Structure 1
Amino acid sequence: MIIVGNVYLSDDIAEQYFVCELSACKGACCVEGDAGAPLEEAECETIAQLLPTVRPYLSQEALEVIEAQGTHTIDQEGDLSTPILPTGECVYAFRDEKGQLKCAFEQAYYEGKSDFKKPVSCHLYPIRITRYDEFDAVNYHRWEICKPACAHGSALRVPLYRFLKEPLIRKYGKRWYDELCRIIELQFGVSHTEDSGQKTSQS
C-alpha cells in the first residue's frame, strides 16, 4: 500500500502499466457497466450549466433521458452519477466518424467552449476512489475491455500513476502528486523518470 497524506493507494498504481488504446476499445467504458459516471456534488452544477454548450453533440434519445431524469441522477448505491440510456451508454457520450465514443464535455473543452474537461471520475479511470470519513481509498479497476490499454502501456513502459498524472493533480494537487512520485521511488526502489516521448496523460 502507498500512503500519501490521507490517501491510501493500492500498489497497482505503481506496478501496473496502462495507456488508453481508443482504437481498440472504442471508448467502451462509456457504455459498459450498470450505472453512469460517478459525480462530485460541485460537478452536478457545472454539468447543468454546460448542458446548452454540449447539447449539439448529444443524440435526441440522450436529450429525452436528460429531460426526464435531469442532468444528473442517483444510482443504485445512492451516489450521484450521470444518467444513462437504456443501452447503458452515458447520455453525454457520442460517436465520432470512426465509431469511437467520445465525451461531449471533453469535445467542448478541446474546442475551447469550456474549461471543464469531464467528470473527474472519468478522467481518473481506470482507478476508482472510495471515500471514507478520514481517508480516500484509491484502487485500480481491472476490466476485460481495458486489456489493450494494459498491453499498450506495457509496451511504452508507462506506469498507471504516470498515465494519470493530469487527473491525479487535478484531484489532489501538484504538491501531493510530487510526494506520490517520491514515495513510489523510495518504496519500490526504482525511478520512473518520464521520457519526453511518452504519452502519460489521457486524450
Structure 2
Amino acid sequence: MIQIEKTLVSDELLEAHFTCDLNACKGGCCVQGEAGAPLEEDELAILDEIYPKVKEFLRPEGINAISKQGAFVKGSDGEWETPLVNNKECAYVIFDPGGVAKCGIEKAFQEEKISWQKPISCHLYPVRVKEYTELIAVNYHKWHLCNAACDLGQKLKTPLYKFVKDALIRKFGEAWYQDLEEAAKS
C-alpha cells in the first residue's frame, strides 16, 4: 500500500497492466453484476439536472427504468447507484451497432449536450474507491470479464494507473497523480 495524502493506494494499481478491450468484453461491466454503478452524493443532483438532455440518447428500456425508479436508486447496501433495466444492465447503457455496451451519459457529453462525462466510478473502473472516516481506499477490482483487458494491457505494457490517469486526476487532482507517478518510479 502507498499513502498519498488521505488515500491508501493498492500496490496493484502500479503493478497490474490493463487496457479495456471492448471487442472482447462488449462492455460487460455495464451489463453484468448485481447492482448499478456506484454514485457519489454530489452526483445525484447532477443526474437529475442532466437527465432531460441525456434522455434523447437512451434506449426506451432505460428511459422506462428511470421513469419508474428515478435517475438513481439506493442499493441493497444502502449506497446510491444507477438504476438497472430488469436487474441487468445500467439504465444509462446504450449499444453500438456491434452490440458493445456504451454509456448514454458519455455519448451526450461527447456530443457536447452536457459538461459532465459520467459517474466517477464508471470513469475509474476497474479502480474502486471506498471512503472511510479518515482515509480513502483506492483498489483494483479484478473481474473475470476483464481478463482480455489484462492481456491487452500486458501486451501494450500499460500500467493500470496510467490507463485510468484521466479519471484519477478527475477524482484526486493533478498533484495527487504526480505523487502516484513518483511512487511508481520507486
1:23-102 matched pairs, under 5 angstroms: 23-102=23-102
Do 2:74 and 2:80's aligned partners in 1 also have CA atoms closer than 8 Å? yes
Deviates more, 1:66-75 or 1:50-59: 50-59
Question: Which aligned runs of 4 or more in structure 1 are off by greater than 3 angstroms?
Answer: none
* Deviation readout 1:18-69 (Å, 9 max, x if unpaired): 0001111110000111100000111111111111111122222221221111
Q: What is the deviation of 1:87?
A: 4.3
* Deviation readout 1:96-146 (Å, 9 max, x if unpaired): 111111101111111111111110000000011111000001111110110
Amino acid at match of 2:11: D
Mapped to 1, the partners of 2:151 and 2:184 lie a distance apart of 22
* Deviation readout 1:148-201 (Å, 9 max, x if unpaired): 100110001010001111000000000010011112212xxxxxxxxxxxxxxx
Q: TM-score, normalised by structure 1?
A: 0.89
Amino acid at match of 2:90: C
1:1-203 matched pairs, under 5 angstroms: 1-186=1-186
Equivalent residue of 1:8, what SS?
strand
Amino acid at match of 1:140: Y
Do 2:34 and 2:87's aligned partners in 1 also have CA atoms closer than 8 Å? no
Equivalent residue of 1:77, what SS?
coil
Mapped to 1, the partners of 2:183 and 2:150 lie a distance apart of 23
Amino acid at match of 2:98: K
Equivalent residue of 2:35, what SS?
coil
Mapped to 1, the partners of 2:146 and 2:132 lie a distance apart of 27
Unpaired stretches in structure 2, ≥5 consecutive residues: none
Mapped to 1, the partners of 2:16 and 2:167 lie a distance apart of 17
RMSD: 0.9
Q: TM-score, normalised by structure 2?
A: 0.97
Equivalent residue of 1:134, what SS?
coil
Do 1:31 and 1:87's aligned partners in 2 also have CA atoms closer than 8 Å? no
Unpaired stretches in structure 1, ≥5 consecutive residues: 187-203
Mapped to 1, the partners of 2:97 and 2:137 lie a distance apart of 38
Mapped to 1, the partners of 2:86 and 2:107 lie a distance apart of 23
